[in-house]
Amino acid sequence: MGPPRIGTVGRRLKELWPLLPAVLYLVGFLAVVLAYLVMLSFSTDMRGSGFPTLEPVRRVLATREFAEALTNTLVFTVVGTPIELLAGLALALLLYRSFRGRNLVRSVLLIPLAIPTLVTATVLFILFDYPGGHINHLLRGSYAFFPQVVNSPINWRADKTFALGISLLGKVWRDMPISMLILAAGLNAIDPELLDAARTMGAGFRKRMVSIMLPLIVPSIASVVLLRSLEMWKEFVFPFVLAGRYDLLGTLIESLYRNWGRTNDAAVVGLGLVMCILVSTGLLLWVLGGLKRRLLHE
């Protein structure tokens, strides 16, 4: 097929013209932020003195705090992204079936989106507080309906695994409806005649899901994985409120800038976070592209 005709190109440009101001704003804002971030990352102070210099980069890379924050963020992303995908897929498959009260269930599942992130994090903080959090009261048998499990309260947020696990729990619960909606849209776009034909030929629900539904919603799965991984990389509120001293890259930036007054080091960590997001996005696009070709037999 030859190149599009001039008239077709002109019509497309005319259709996209209203988006130009928004594109210019986003690109311009991003360019200014990245330029300032690069300037601070390779300077010795906020005025850009000594630019370019690798001193802030070497200083940050040599610290234990950066290595731990990078590891924590990587684990947070690698564990949290599949959990959000699987949870969203399970709920989307649940809502895909017809049953009484489906609209009510859908509305209930969307409640996390209506609750501000800070409110959700604060509720989890109260639940897992030490020593008087409700979870500790529950485990110590303070409520008649639940047996005593432990003799003394557990300091959940003093342990890195528990602290980051609670943060991940809040993050998944808060963002799970977004994954559900994206995957549900992909499922609803499938031609019902394909599924009816497979059902007529004796294919059960599991067979239809593996052979028809999952391959056809690969674009939706890819969107969920990309969007959720980006959110996991730059997560701030839940680990800031619940994980305390166990920093992720996002909370380490705040600590360096506000608590320790190391602006240039904070910029280096921010630039490192941007690089991690770009590298992981490129890797995911490559993996998801190969998965799509394999599933669709391209």
- Which helix (DSSP H) or strand (DSSP E) does residue 253 occupy? helix 249-254
Label residue 17 by pLDDT band (50, 70, 90): confident
Q: Which residue has the tokens 């609750």?
A: 115
The pLDDT of 98-124, averaged and rounded, is 87
For residue 70, CA distances in Å to 60, 75, 76, 246 come to 12, 9, 10, 11
pLDDT at residue 103 tops 90: no
Give SS3 for 3.
Answer: coil
Does residue 83 surpass a pLDDT of 60? Answer: yes
Q: Cα(132)–Cα(119) distance, rounded to whole angstroms?
A: 19
Boundaries of every domain in the chain: 66-295
d(CA 160, CA 72): 9
Q: Give this prediction's pTM.
A: 0.81
Identify the CA nearest to 52 among candidates 44, 42, 60, 40.
Answer: 42
Answer for the pair 173, 150: CB distance below 8 angstroms, yes or no. no
The pLDDT of 173-201, averaged and rounded, is 84
pLDDT digits (tens, 9 = 90+) for 113-168: 889 999 999 999 999 988 878 888 888 888 888 888 888 888 888 888 999 999 99
At 296, is the pLDDT very low, low, confident or very high (cuts 50, 70, 90)?
low
CATH class assigned to 66-295: mainly alpha
117, two tokens: 């992130």
Neighbours of 267 (CB within 10 A): 25
Burial code (b: 16+ CB inside 10 Å, e: under 16) for 99-126 equals eeeeeeebeebeebeeeebeebbeebbe
User: What percent of the chain is helix, strand and coil (3-state, nearest 5)?
Assistant: 75, 0, 25
